[in-house]
A and B are shown apart, each in its own frame.
Chain A
Amino acid sequence: APSAPSSPQTRVLFPGATDSHYTEQLQFVRDYPSLPTYRVLDLEGNVLNPSEDPQLSKEECLKMYTSMLTLNSMDLILYEAQRQGRISFYMTSYGEEATHMGSAAALTLDDIVYGQYREAGVLLYRGFTIEQFMNQCYSNELDLGKGRQMPVHYGSKALNFQTISSPLGTQLPQAAGSAYALKRTGKDACVICFFGEGAASEGDFHAALNIAATTESPVLFFCRNNGYAISTPAKEQYRGDGIASRGHGYGMDTVRVDGNDALAVYNVVKEARRRAITEERPILIEALTYRVGHHSTSDDSSAYRSKTEVSDWMKQDSPIVRFRKYIENKGWWNEEQEQSFRKTIRSKILKEFAAAEKVKKPSLEHLFTDVYAGEQPWNLKEQEQELHRLIEKFPAHYDTNGHAK
């Protein structure tokens, strides 16, 4: 039986919190110190603490940087394409490029990626081609997803990037399960799962962090805290110290990082990956950043935040500019290379864009395939036949010329 509480140092014997001590002072806890934000670079691209410089090679740094420029250029073109009605929907990654490239560079292709939807840069860095991005946004017959999902819902088996779905937060407990399966195979790999600070309010966030902790699954929960969930500012999303402060509650190693600093993100993900795999545990990472673009092409963010707020961010703290200054300080990049790369990549994207627009839409059979593996159930067979009957009867209503046979 528990002994009578005598001093503040007497440990409780209750099974629910075995590290707790008794106290005779009634005290509600309110003030916690805010978690610090780790950075490597200042706004001018200077390394603040030389021992924190990951000393990435010129080749690695240029891959990260040119990937940021490529993503930025693709965003500009596809955003405009949606405005012209050429694709139905788009979401840009403006301002969050460093979170993508910094994390992608610290991972291997054996690591499974789960995303939310604003992580195209991770896929790009892993090798998804511009042609593949375009094909998905155009829902053409070369789209790996067979044209079934909205634009920006990318996925690639070859690149170990699980296909994006619209419901927010659902990928979080799935990432924990995949990490558990990976751990059982003994592979030197983990799972990284991206989500926004808004999605962290979903029940699946709570479920995922808790189940990952109790099952000791090697998963990195990477939160992109960009200040807004569509129109809802972070202040209306939560009242704690961001998302990172929740990690302690789940018994999880936690770190907060400057999301506009690609090298800081790289260091964090690299070390988190090592810990997750060797210590068999989940890690929570919160990257602070700012959503420079509109939420999506269906959103005009000037309805809920000032244009100067946005332009100030672009001027003062662009993750692309900060990383450019770092590589320029190293002598690895200059204005001439910048102009040349931008011009080349723009014409390459436009070329792929035009090509994707001309590719036929997927064959109509793919309306009905892949609902199930194995034999198609009778109802689907009948419904497919009925559709074909209707197409034959009403050719004017069902133009199939744009579709592959």
Chain B
Amino acid sequence: MRRVSVNAALRTLPRSAYAHQHFRRYATPASPPPAEGFMPGVATSKFVKHTKEQALANPELSSLKNSETKKLNLFQSVNEAMDLALASDESAVVFGEDVAFGGVFRCTMGLQEKYGKDRVFNTPLTEQGLVGFGIGMAAAGATAIAEVQFADYVFPAFDQIVNEAAKYRYRSGNQFDCGGLTIRMPCMAVGHGGHYHSQSPEAYFAHTPGLKVVIPRSPIQAKGLLLAAIRDPNPVLFMEPKILYRASVEQVPVDDYTLPIGKAEVMKQGKDVTVVGWGSQIYVLETAIAMIEKEIPGLQVELIDLRSILPWDVETIEKSVNKTGRLVIAHEAPVTGGFGAEMAAAIQERCFLRLEAPIQRVCGWDTPFPLIFEKFYVPSAIRCVEGIKKALNY
């Protein structure tokens, strides 16, 4: 593993005066756990767009031929998306805990100064309250962009999201809806987040008809998918891999653009095995694929970024597995009841005659997300290589 670049990525995590607030729910911020993590170097990823030409080569961005680009990290691109949403829609409002001063991850920097206190504001510390508030705003026709400070703290709002937001349109016979609601939340591991700053709760929400769930992997993706989420006529949960906020940097088109929700993206073509992941796991998989392709000359692994958990792009995965005959799914969340299970079952139904090996799931263990054992817990590149080998050698 590329430990040097791992540590370089982690060194870019906040170290300024607000760093303690970013993990403010720690009882003793004076002695944080060591910042040790196993996120492979995003900076050296081949998927990162270092130039304008690379950024605009994406066929999904063909409408942006003349756009300039600028170098942004993921929190800056999220900020850009909200800036554009606020500028293009007078009813749009951004709110949550500590968003007014710029947010504990700097995603809302400068927005209150630019748009005013009535459009970018702090709420009391209540997730059920602020999500319910957002549903009400959207039900009255406004665009509500709510922030839950960590995905780990979305559960107090579970009732509002599952029983209310998701069912609002259906239960009213399409008389009322809260489609103007987007709920942003930082998610996934960060090296030292322990139980409540590391979770990946996407599978809980994947079981809820009426919601959309989106997880981007990079600044270009984050901007386009977030703008799509904000403008989608359905409530969308937008989960931002927090380890990428500073570590992931690329040339991002400055124009207003959206990327499609519900569509996966084939990151790397291959013919021997299909590997699917999302969020920061994409870079773990990239490392794993580089390792195994080096070890087995001629091997061609196909890598797919799922991007949308709900609705998910079964067609792209099915097509890929019908070609390769093998599927490996990797996610940070625990394996039992994780979204990998849904995908494995659906692909097994569709590709039964083409599958040449059992579908492999490389996931977090079925434990709470541990602090000091993080590197033993996560579906690291080594474990992904093992999973791919199992699929190949069956």
CA A163 – CA B170 in complex, angstroms?
10
Chain B CB count within 10 A is highest, among A112, A144, A377, for A377
Report if A146 contacts B (CB, 8 A): yes
Residue of B nearest to A163 (CB): B172
Residue of A nearest to B311 (CB): A377
Chain A CB count within 10 A is highest, among B126, B129, B179, for B129
Contact between A181 and B137, CB atoms less than 8 A apart: yes
Chain B CB count within 10 A is highest, among A170, A179, A182, for A170
Chain B CB count within 10 A is highest, among A179, A191, A211, for A211
CA A170 – CA B174 in complex, angstroms?
19
CA A157 – CA B314 in complex, angstroms?
36
CA A368 – CA B180 in complex, angstroms?
21
Contact between B234 and A373, CB atoms less than 8 A apart: yes
- CB within 8 A of A167: which of B123, B164, B209, B311? B164
CA A112 – CA B234 in complex, angstroms?
21
Known A144-B173, A372-B234, A377-B262; contact A165-B167, beta-carbon cutoff 8 A: yes
Residue of A nearest to B181 (CB): A177
Contacting A at CB under 8 A, from B125-173, are: 126, 128-142, 144, 156, 159-160, 163-164, 167-173
Contact between B139 and A162, CB atoms less than 8 A apart: yes
Known A170-B159, A184-B118; contact A370-B173, beta-carbon cutoff 8 A: yes
Contact between B163 and A204, CB atoms less than 8 A apart: no
Residue of B nearest to A144 (CB): B173
CA A144 – CA B101 in complex, angstroms?
44
A167 to chain B, nearest CB (A): 5
Residue of A nearest to B346 (CB): A379
Known A155-B172, A371-B209, A372-B234; contact A210-B132, beta-carbon cutoff 8 A: no
| Chain B hits for A191, CB < 8 A | 136
| Chain B hits for A204, CB < 8 A | 128-129, 132, 159-160
| Chain A count of residues within 8 A CB distance of the other chain | 50
B147 to chain A, nearest CB (A): 14
Contact between A371 and B139, CB atoms less than 8 A apart: no
CA A374 – CA B233 in complex, angstroms?
7
Contacting B at CB under 8 A, from A165-181, are: 165, 167, 170, 172-181
CA A366 – CA B174 in complex, angstroms?
11
B137 to chain A, nearest CB (A): 4
Contact between B124 and A211, CB atoms less than 8 A apart: yes
Contact between B176 and A155, CB atoms less than 8 A apart: yes
Contact between A373 and B169, CB atoms less than 8 A apart: yes
| Chain A hits for B173, CB < 8 A | 143-146, 148, 155, 163, 366, 370
A-B CB contacts (within 8 Å), total count: 162
A268 to chain B, nearest CB (A): 23
CA A231 – CA B250 in complex, angstroms?
61
Contact between A174 and B129, CB atoms less than 8 A apart: no
Known A207-B126, A215-B133; contact A163-B142, beta-carbon cutoff 8 A: no
Known A173-B160, A211-B129, A373-B234; contact A179-B136, beta-carbon cutoff 8 A: yes
Report if B365 contacts A (CB, 8 A): no
Contact between A370 and B124, CB atoms less than 8 A apart: no
Residue of B nearest to A214 (CB): B124
| Chain A hits for B163, CB < 8 A | 165, 167, 170
CA A180 – CA B118 in complex, angstroms?
9
Known A170-B160, A173-B129; contact A148-B124, beta-carbon cutoff 8 A: no
| Chain A hits for B137, CB < 8 A | 177-178, 180-181
A-contact 0/1 string along B231-270, CB 8 Å cutoff: 0111000000000000000000000000000100000000
Known A163-B176, A211-B123; contact A379-B311, beta-carbon cutoff 8 A: yes
Contact between A208 and B121, CB atoms less than 8 A apart: no
Report if B69 contacts A (CB, 8 A): no
CA A235 – CA B209 in complex, angstroms?
39
Residue of B nearest to A183 (CB): B118
| Chain B hits for A207, CB < 8 A | 124, 126, 128-130, 132
- CB within 8 A of B175: which of A144, A170, A208? A144
Contact between B139 and A178, CB atoms less than 8 A apart: yes
- CB within 8 A of A181: which of B140, B164, B168, B210? B140
Contact between B164 and A184, CB atoms less than 8 A apart: no
Contacting A at CB under 8 A, from B196-230, are: 209-210, 212
Contact between A112 and B140, CB atoms less than 8 A apart: yes
Contact between B164 and A170, CB atoms less than 8 A apart: yes
A237 to chain B, nearest CB (A): 20
| Chain B hits for A379, CB < 8 A | 311, 314
| Chain B hits for A112, CB < 8 A | 140
| Chain B hits for A148, CB < 8 A | 170-171, 173
Chain B CB count within 10 A is highest, among A146, A180, A207, A210, for A207
| Chain A hits for B141, CB < 8 A | 181
Report if A66 contacts B (CB, 8 A): no
- CB within 8 A of B132: which of A170, A179, A370? A170
| Chain A hits for B177, CB < 8 A | 373
Report if B366 contacts A (CB, 8 A): no
| Chain B hits for A54, CB < 8 A | none
Contact between A378 and B314, CB atoms less than 8 A apart: yes
B92 to chain A, nearest CB (A): 10
A178 to chain B, nearest CB (A): 4
CA A367 – CA B160 in complex, angstroms?
22
| Chain B hits for A177, CB < 8 A | 132-140, 144
Contact between B171 and A153, CB atoms less than 8 A apart: yes
B127 to chain A, nearest CB (A): 8
Contacting A at CB under 8 A, from B304-346, are: 311, 314-315
Known A177-B144, A178-B139, A377-B262; contact A157-B133, beta-carbon cutoff 8 A: no
Residue of A nearest to B179 (CB): A373
B203 to chain A, nearest CB (A): 16
| Chain A hits for B129, CB < 8 A | 173, 176, 204, 206-208, 210-211
Contacting A at CB under 8 A, from B14-50, are: none
Report if B93 contacts A (CB, 8 A): yes
Report if A149 contacts B (CB, 8 A): yes
| Chain A hits for B5, CB < 8 A | none
B222 to chain A, nearest CB (A): 22
Report if A203 contacts B (CB, 8 A): yes
B113 to chain A, nearest CB (A): 19
- CB within 8 A of B128: which of A157, A203, A374? A203
29 contacts between A and B (CB under 8 A): A114-B136, A143-B173, A148-B170, A148-B171, A149-B171, A156-B175, A163-B171, A163-B175, A165-B171, A167-B159, A170-B132, A170-B164, A173-B136, A174-B136, A176-B133, A176-B136, A177-B139, A178-B137, A181-B93, A181-B137, A181-B141, A206-B129, A207-B126, A207-B128, A214-B124, A371-B169, A373-B179, A377-B311, A380-B209
Given contacts A370-B173, A373-B169, 17 further A-B contacts (CB under 8 A): A145-B175, A155-B172, A157-B175, A163-B171, A165-B171, A173-B128, A177-B137, A177-B139, A178-B136, A182-B140, A204-B132, A204-B159, A204-B160, A207-B132, A211-B124, A372-B311, A378-B311
- Taking Cβ atoms with an 8 Å cutoff, the residues of B that contact A are 91, 93, 118, 121, 123-124, 126, 128-142, 144, 156, 159-160, 163-164, 167-177, 179, 209-210, 212, 232-234, 262, 311, 314-315
- Return the 10 tightest CB-CB contacts between A and B, nearest first: A177-B136, A173-B132, A207-B129, A174-B136, A377-B311, A163-B172, A177-B133, A373-B233, A181-B140, A178-B136
